[in-house]
Copies of this chain bind each other. A is one copy, B any other.
Amino acid sequence: MANIKSDYLCRKMQVFTKHKELIYQAVESIANRIYHSVYSDNVKTYSDELKEKGLAAFQNRFNMDFTEHHIKSDVWVGEEVSPYLQTGLGIRYPVIDIEKIIENAQSAGKTWQKVGIEERAGILAEALERIESRFFELAHATMHTTGQGFLMAFQAAGPHACDRALESIAMGFSEIKRFPEFVKSESGAGRNASSMRKTYNPIPRGISLVIGCSTFPTWNSLPGIFASLITGNPVIVKPHPKAVLPIAIVVAEMRNLLKESGLRMDTIQMAVDTSDKPITKELAEHAAIKLIDFTGNSKFGNYIESLPKISFTEKAAINPVIIDSTKDIEGLVNNLAFSLSLYSRQMCTAPQNIYVAASGIKITGGTVSFDDFCDRLRKALDDLLQNKWGPSTLGCVQNDTTLKKIKDISLALGSKIAEAKSFKMPEYEAARTQSIKVLGLDSGKQEIFQREVFGPMVFVVKTEHTEKSIELALRGCAISGGITCLVHCTDFVLSKIIEEKFNAAFVPVSFNFTGQVFVNQHAAFSDFHVSGGNGSGNGSLVDPGFITKRFVWIGNRYMT
Contact = CB atoms under 8 A, between A and B. Distances in A.
A504 B202 CA distance: 10
This chain: how many copies in the complex?
2
Contacts of A201: 503
Interface residues of A, number: 60
Choose among A175, A198, A507 the residue with the greatest number of B CB atoms under 10 Å from its CB: A198
Given A31-B178, A35-B185, A198 B526 contact: yes
B515 A557 contact: no
B557 A527 contact: yes
Nearest to A335: B559
Nearest to A41: B188
B194 A516 contact: yes
A459 interface: no
A545 interface: yes
A138 B553 CA distance: 32
Interface of A: 31-35, 37, 175, 178-180, 183, 185-188, 191-192, 194, 196, 198, 200-201, 203, 205, 499, 503-504, 506-517, 523, 526-528, 531-533, 540, 543-545, 548-549, 552-559
B552 A506 contact: yes
B32 A508 contact: no
B532 A552 contact: yes
Nearest to A179: B33
B203 A506 contact: yes
A557 B526 CA distance: 11
Contacts of A552: 506, 531-533, 540
A35 B187 contact: yes
A556 B35 contact: no
Given A31-B178, A183-B34, A196-B517, A503 B556 contact: yes
B528 A553 contact: yes
Contact of A556 (B509, B514, B554): B509
Contacts of A526: 183, 185, 198, 555
